Amino acid sequence: AGMAGAFLMEIRRGTQSALLVIRYAAAELPSAPVEVSVCADSLEVKSGGSCDAAALPAGVRLAPSSCRGLRRLRGDGLHLRMRLHHPPPAADEVFTLRESLKPNKDYVFYCQSCGDIVVKDRKFLRVLPLPSENWSDLVEEWCCHPDPFARSTLHPQHGDCFVGDTFFLLNSGNESHVPESPKSKENTRVICKRCKTMLGETVSSDTIKYYVTEVIIQPAEGSFSPIARSQFVQSMVAQCLLELSSAKSTFRFTIKGDNGKTYILIWLLNSDTLLVESLGSSSSHSDFTLFGDILTPSSGPVGTWNAVKVLYQPCIQCRNTELADAWENDMGVHPLKFPSETCLELLLVLGLSTTSLPPSLRCMNSFQVRNSFC
């Protein structure tokens, strides 16, 4: 009777608060009074002769007496804020790229797009972190004499794997897909032999860079497990944001392509969000026609996701050039580099996620809002 029966609840673990949005079917308003019942472990919506109820996931307990701020927003539905009875289970610990590789173990690198083997049975004696890509810009602040690292290069030997913010550096060895003598920027691109996807680029005659968004690394005794492309890209980018914000207290990022262009400005808002959504008639699913695999919830009629909430601005087609220039010159902004094609994929995923939110939650100041699932 005018109700879609779908709801979206955004929970903040840190503040133990929740925003509940009960969403109407498109362009419909209830023809009868709506009665919303909030219990510690369930929600119920009555309108006319219909009644829609949903049990909340285990670990999510509300404090019904704290409900406040009930209002209806056109195009959204009913909004209601409340407190939690106790915080939901903590999200998994922050994943770090270095933890995905261990010394003295054999690994296989697969192309994430098609599963073709890129690096076979490689054992690393050392797995070492690299400094940030702009580390040399800070040398003048560290040293009172000429740069002692000016002629130094950080190139891995055969048993080394160097881990950067968004890439792995390996000794190229005898990899057949690596250009023997790059003569131009285009010739430095490392391409998958099967699907022709860009996997990385050559850094020198014996060093190759693989981007974390383009390869899946598995122990040699394991097997390739396919992951939907859009889900993998957003998960890896979210993990990069979490790791850097945790280690460096950096919350603003520029997403750059391998061509040097800035594609996206990202501002990390929080990483303690838990989304709870009814699945029966959720509007977000119809909005994810191209990237429906992004939403991979827990089983049952109600899905839950750990999410990273970000603000973003696209910088393609000459948009936001002044803001991008200001961020470029700001030492508090951290650049992240990915293949240009992946930057465009990420921008599309961001846009699709924004359209899945209720209209009132899609913007903050001049930025667009996006929930990225870990």
Q: Rounded to whole angstroms, how far apart are CA atoms 322 and 324?
A: 5
Confidence category of residue 33, pLDDT binned at 50, 70, 90: confident
The CATH number linked to 3 is 2.60.40.790
Q: Please give the pLDDT value at position 32.
A: 67
Torsion of CA 299, 302, 307, 310, to 10 degrees: 140
Among the residue ranges 5-14, 30-39, 123-132, 340-349, the one predicted with the least confidence is 30-39
- The better pLDDT of the pair 63, 370 is held by 63
Residue bearing tokens 């002692």:
148
Q: What is the mean pLDDT of residues 16-28?
A: 77
Q: What is the mean pLDDT of residues 187-197?
A: 91
Query: How confident is the model over 275-293, as pLDDT tens digits?
Result: 888 765 444 333 332 333 3
Q: Please give the pLDDT value at position 293.
A: 38
Among the residue ranges 169-178, 246-255, 267-276, the one predicted with the least confidence is 169-178
Q: Please give the pLDDT value at position 249.
A: 87
- 204 and 235 belong to one structural domain: no
Residue 142 has pLDDT above 80, yes or no: no
Point out the domain boundary residue: 89, 105, 126.
89
Does residue 224 lie within any of the structural domains?
Answer: no
φ and ψ at 217, to 5 degrees? -110, 125
Among the residue ranges 37-51, 139-153, 191-205, 293-307, the one predicted with the least confidence is 293-307
- Backbone torsion region of residue 205, taken as left when φ is above 0, otherwise alpha when ψ lies between -120 and 50, otherwise beta: alpha
Residue 198 has pLDDT above 90, yes or no: yes
CB atoms within 10 A of CB 99: 12
Residue bearing tokens 């690596």:
178
The residue among 324, 321, 285, 278 whose CA lies nearest residue 301 is 278
Query: What are the residues facing 80 on neighbouring strands?
Result: 20
| Most distant pair of Cα atoms in the chain: their distance | 80
- 199 and 233 belong to one structural domain: no
Does residue 106 lie within any of the structural domains?
Answer: yes
Domain housing 177: 97-219
Residue 225 has pLDDT above 70, yes or no: yes
Token pair for 264 = 């996206």
Does residue 294 lie within any of the structural domains?
Answer: no
Which residues are CB-neighbours of 25 under 8 A, at least 6 positions away?
A: 2, 3, 4, 281
Query: How confident is the model over 314-365, as pLDDT tens digits?
Result: 999 889 999 999 999 998 999 999 999 999 999 999 998 888 888 888 888 7
Query: What are the residues facing 68 on neighbouring strands?
Result: 81
- 67 and 113 belong to one structural domain: no
- 239 and 138 belong to one structural domain: no
Q: Please give the pLDDT value at position 101.
A: 87
The residue among 369, 347, 340, 227 whose CA lies nearest residue 294 is 227
Point out the domain boundary residue: 40, 55, 89.
89
The residue among 128, 203, 189 whose CA lies nearest residue 341 is 189
Point out the domain boundary residue: 89, 106, 123.
89
- 127 and 151 belong to one structural domain: yes
Average pLDDT, the chain: 82
Residue bearing tokens 């190229």:
172
- 163 and 82 belong to one structural domain: no
Q: Please give the pLDDT value at position 139.
A: 65
Q: What is the mean pLDDT of residues 230-240?
A: 91
Q: Please give the pLDDT value at position 294.
A: 40
Confidence category of residue 40, pLDDT binned at 50, 70, 90: very high
Residue 9 has pLDDT above 80, yes or no: yes
- 6 and 64 belong to one structural domain: yes
- 239 and 356 belong to one structural domain: yes
* Most confident of the ranges 96-110, 230-244, 254-268: 254-268
Does residue 319 lie within any of the structural domains?
Answer: yes
- 127 and 32 belong to one structural domain: no
DSSP state of 229: H
- The better pLDDT of the pair 35, 30 is held by 35
- 103 and 124 belong to one structural domain: yes
Q: Please give the pLDDT value at position 292.
A: 34
- Percentage, residues of the chain above pLDDT 90: 45
- 243 and 177 belong to one structural domain: no
Does residue 289 lie within any of the structural domains?
Answer: no
**Contact, 353 vs 308, CB < 8 A?**
no
Q: What is the mean pLDDT of residues 12-36?
A: 77
| Torsion sign, CA atoms 352, 90, 334, 191 | negative
Q: Rounded to whole angstroms, how far apart are CA atoms 139 and 151?
A: 13
Confidence category of residue 34, pLDDT binned at 50, 70, 90: confident
pTM: 0.84
- The better pLDDT of the pair 186, 21 is held by 21
Q: What is the mean pLDDT of residues 202-222?
A: 92
**Contact, 39 vs 62, CB < 8 A?**
yes
Alpha carbon 347 to its chain centroid, in Å, reads: 11
- What total of structural domains would you count in the chain? 3
The H or E element spanning position 16 is none
Alpha carbon 112 to its chain centroid, in Å, reads: 16
Does residue 136 lie within any of the structural domains?
Answer: yes
Q: Rounded to whole angstroms, how far apart are CA atoms 175 and 179?
A: 9
Does residue 278 lie within any of the structural domains?
Answer: no
- 131 and 192 belong to one structural domain: yes
Does residue 292 lie within any of the structural domains?
Answer: no
Query: How confident is the model over 97-140, as pLDDT tens digits?
Result: 667 788 999 999 999 999 999 999 999 999 998 877 666 666 66
